[in-house]
Structure 1
């Protein structure tokens, strides 16, 4: 990568559910809490700020929804330093949806940038894996809670 290129984390997964159901799983915290964070201050809406919590780790993050196009795309800003995350939804058939998560706008450099890319790639892959298990099979794998068993959980 030369100095003008900006790194992008990209993770993807086919989910065997209709696009409206997959999209709603990211918008509605009643569903999202089954595979990602444990608590949210509300549903995702354009230009709304929300707090997501991972209660088992005692951490939370504020996110701002910058774009929300029904059954197509959700864009948020989150983190410290902040980055942009796009969730893109494509209908492969009336029963299959392809989800692509892109994370970009990293401010870090050197080893800090490598660490951020590594952590975000692993994290968003875990989110997609949990989404797939929950929507397709109704299984709550507890992937996020089990990802860091050495961290004191509450």
Structure 2
């Protein structure tokens, strides 16, 4: 049975260093993705992320950081499954950056397909929000997922 893996990519019209900082710095990341994070991502550290739509906090174990090139971490990407996420940054012409994200792997079964659908949507959203934030200083998430909030 073939394993499932998420892959998503986008090009941003900003230099790699700026993109890298927007990914590892929770203050910057709160401008487009999370509501807050506990610390800057550094290899060997655990940080927590909170999203505006959910009361839960998500623990992220940072595996590897290569400045301006790679952010690798592990998180519970699916219930009871700790998965590795790699965010690779490649310099492109015109001072642009190609961002490639991979997450995985999971079995090709019902749980794996549910994860693949949900997290692929999530990473595509992350990339679109990152691009809007860096290029236009817009937070696309603001109000976008309020429908997911639990009614009091």
Contact 2:53-2:145 within 8 A present in 1 as well: no
Q: TM-score, normalised by structure 1?
A: 0.89
Task: Work out the number of aligned pairs and report it.
Answer: 149
Structure 1 consecutive aligned stretches of length 4 or more whose deviation exceeds 3 Å? none
2:68 counterpart of 1:77 = no
For 1:153 and 1:129, the matched residues in 2 are separated by 27
Q: What CA deviation, in whole Å up to 9, does each residue of 1:87-133 have, x standing for no partner?
A: 00000035200000100132x55211100000010000000000000
Q: Which residue of 9, 20, 24 corresponds with 1:23?
A: 20
Q: Are the structure 2 counterparts of residues 134 and 153 from structure 1 closer, same or farther at C-alpha, using a change threshold of 3 Å?
A: farther
Instruction: Indicate the SS of the match to 1:51.
Output: strand
Contact 1:58-1:153 within 8 A present in 2 as well: no
Q: Are the structure 2 counterparts of residues 73 and 146 from structure 1 closer, same or farther at C-alpha, using a change threshold of 3 Å?
A: same
Q: Are the structure 2 counterparts of residues 103 and 153 from structure 1 closer, same or farther at C-alpha, using a change threshold of 3 Å?
A: farther
Q: Are the structure 2 counterparts of residues 8 and 109 from structure 1 closer, same or farther at C-alpha, using a change threshold of 3 Å?
A: closer
Instruction: Indicate the SS of the match to 1:65.
Output: strand
Q: What CA deviation, in whole Å up to 9, does each residue of 1:54-90 have, x standing for no partner?
A: 1432121101011100111111000131100000000
Q: TM-score, normalised by structure 2?
A: 0.91
2:61 counterpart of 1:67 = no
Q: In the alignment, which residue of structure 2 is the partner of 1:132?
A: 131
Instruction: Indicate the SS of the match to 1:37.
Output: coil
2:52 counterpart of 1:52 = no
For 1:65 and 1:39, the matched residues in 2 are separated by 17
For 2:88 and 2:151, the matched residues in 1 are separated by 32
Q: In the alignment, which residue of structure 1 is the partner of 2:102?
A: 102
Q: Are the structure 2 counterparts of residues 132 and 24 from structure 1 closer, same or farther at C-alpha, using a change threshold of 3 Å?
A: same
Instruction: Indicate the SS of the match to 2:81.
Output: coil
Contact 1:57-1:151 within 8 A present in 2 as well: yes
Q: Which runs of 5+ in 2 are unaligned?
A: none
